[in-house]
Amino acid sequence: MKTLEVNVFGVVQGVGFRWFAQQAAQKNNIVGWVRNRKDGSVTIQAQGTEENMANFLTTIKKGPGFYSRVDDVEIESIAPFESNVFAIRY
């Protein structure tokens, strides 16, 4: 099991990025959450198998499409947590 905090920078607010991250997580059996930050970035805490996490991160790095732009992704290992869903936090 892999547990990560992922900070995504670029044009990632107001473009459906949190919804996109939730859909990617559900598709890859990832649990955790996603939230906008005051500095315009997005933070994700995610947990899943090594393979599922790799697929999830590949999708996140591409971004949801035309109106968004992912400039940088910072990834850090964190302590495991208990969850059975991937939520959008406000």
Q: 38-77 pLDDT, tens per residue?
A: 999 999 999 999 999 999 999 999 999 889 999 999 999 9
The percentage of the chain sitting over the pLDDT mark of 90, rounded to a whole number, equals 98
The catalytic residue among 36, 55, 84, 89 is 36
Give the other-Cβ count within 10 Å of 14's Cβ: 10
Determine which helix (DSSP H) or strand (DSSP E) holds 24, and give its type and residue range. helix 17-27
Average predicted confidence (pLDDT) for the chain: 97
pTM, two decimals, is: 0.97
Domain housing 62: 2-89
Give the total number of structural domains in the chain: 1
Both structure tokens of 78? 């964190």
CATH number, domain containing residue 36: 3.30.70.100
**Residue 18 bears catalytic tag:** yes
Tell me how far CA of residue 16 lies from CA of 6, 34, 39, in angstroms: 17, 12, 17
**Residue 89 bears catalytic tag:** no
The catalytic residue among 7, 18, 52, 69 is 18
Residue with tokens 């991937």: 86
